[in-house]
Amino acid sequence: AVPYVNGQTSSSSSWYKFSGDESGVLFLRAAHGIRGPGGAARRLRARRRRRGGGGGDAGRYSDGRNLLDFFAEAFRLPFVPPYLGGGDFLNGANFAVGGATALNNSFFRELGVEPTWTPHSLDEQMQWFKKLLPSIASTKSEHSDMMSKSLFLVGEVGGNDYNHLMVRGKSLDELRKLVPQVVGVISLAITELINLGAKKFVVPGNFPIGCVPLYLSILPSEEKGYYNEETGCIEWLNEFTEYHNRLLQEELEKLRNLHPDVSVIYADYYGATLNIYRAPLQFGFTVPLNSCCGSDAPHNCSLSVMCGNPGSFVCPDPSKYISWDGLHFTEATYKVIIQGVLGSYAVPPLSEICRGGEYKVSQLHQCTDSNPTNTVTYDAMSSFI
């Protein structure tokens, strides 16, 4: 399949995504068609239901499209099958697994936390990609061409690592000590891809988790200054996210200096999302801090009755809500976020990925090239459960 943009083809012959979570998240992201065991699978299907999308399980923790979908649409790239589901990967593979982390499960066991989530961390997703690589690029020249023309979307990563520990009562100091290690794993994955020949990266930061309805529900306080006066979000949680994002940006700058021929773009998911919380009505959101799918608990969200569990309900109009299930966003929110990233919430601008060829940039910062190439798409989004 060849993606056309304004009558021409995208300059990226492939795009690959390695990620942690979509709502603090993520982008998440989405675990297209991948199932957890037993009752967890039924709850996931309920939480991923696409409203108005023809019924059935859409494989999204949302009421419709997510960031990955909008990103693909913006760059005229095809949607792809899940790697774990098997199939034809000539046009790419989706490595998404619900609940995946940056750090592997042995790390959490050393912290005294027994993982109850998926064992498929970022390093394993990288191994899957390396295993798949020979089947989509059999010769040295094909390998070099495919890697150099591919766009690698590495993130959002780290949200699940923090979420899993936070809901288990770990302190802020314990979480902060984890950040350099999470960022280090992200950097290592990017470096591995560069060594394999990758030249174009988009690396998103984490979302403002202080605005997540689940945390607003389970971490209430009457302390003065606990909530941001403008947004109503929890200050210390957003400051923690800013710390992660700051360390990530510093690491990305080091990678740029080490590899000046490689484009590394930071996608500011945090800024694009916080912009919505600062003026929700401007974007059509009348219920900014409650989840659409949830329970009668504060902010329509609780750990005991999550979206999809017995006793949960769905709001009549998700487009009025920023949050879908207390952790992930609605389609309407994802659309605004990606518009921000395609605009000013990317450093440098996404047009940077057009560097290195005779490309044109459309109004959506899409790269075009006069030489058609086959398109391979890879996604590794995972979502917090």
pLDDT at res. 96: 66
Report DSSP state, residue 209. G
For 99, what's the count of Cα atoms within 13 Å in the CB-facing half-sphere? 17
- Residues whose CB is less than 8 angstroms from the CB of residue 370 and which lie 6 or more positions away in sequence, other chains included: 8, 358
Distance between CA 119 and CA 97 in Å, rounded?
A: 9
Residue 207, in any domain of the structure: yes
Residue 23 has pLDDT above 80, yes or no: no
Distance between CA 40 and CA 322 in Å, rounded?
A: 25
Tokens representing 91 are: 């046009």
Residue 27, in any domain of the structure: yes
- Residues whose CB is less than 8 angstroms from the CB of residue 178 and which lie 6 or more positions away in sequence, other chains included: 103, 161, 162, 165
Residues 110-148 have pLDDT tens digits of 888 888 777 788 888 888 888 888 887 888 888 888 888
The amino acid occupying position 4 is: Y
pLDDT at res. 179: 97
Residue 115, in any domain of the structure: yes
Percent of the chain scoring above 70 in pLDDT: 73
Residue 46 has pLDDT above 70, yes or no: no
pLDDT at res. 295: 93
Distance between CA 267 and CA 27 in Å, rounded?
A: 11
Of 72 and 43, the structure prediction assigns the larger pLDDT to: 72
Of 32 and 90, the structure prediction assigns the larger pLDDT to: 90
Average pLDDT over residues 150-171: 86
- Give the count of domains, the chain: 1
Distance between CA 282 and CA 43 in Å, rounded?
A: 33
What is the pTM assigned to this prediction? 0.81
Residue 33, in any domain of the structure: yes
Distance between CA 58 and CA 49 in Å, rounded?
A: 6
Domain that holds residue 253: 4-379
Helix (H, G, I), strand (E, B) or coil at 246: helix
Greatest alpha-carbon span in the chain = 63
Residue 385, in any domain of the structure: no
pLDDT at res. 14: 56
Residue 361 has pLDDT above 80, yes or no: no
φ, ψ at 369 (rounded to 5°)? -140, 140
Distance between CA 212 and CA 192 in Å, rounded?
A: 33
Residue 384, in any domain of the structure: no
Average pLDDT over residues 238-256: 98
The lowest-confidence range among 22-36, 124-138, 140-154, 223-237 is: 22-36
Of 126 and 318, the structure prediction assigns the larger pLDDT to: 318
Tokens representing 86 are: 């098997």
Average pLDDT over residues 49-67: 58
Helix (H, G, I), strand (E, B) or coil at 314: strand
Residue 50, in any domain of the structure: yes
Residue 182, in any domain of the structure: yes
Dihedral sign, Cα of residue 245, residue 247, residue 253, residue 258 = negative
**CB 195, CB 263: distance < 8 Å:** no
Dihedral sign, Cα of residue 325, residue 330, residue 331, residue 334 = negative
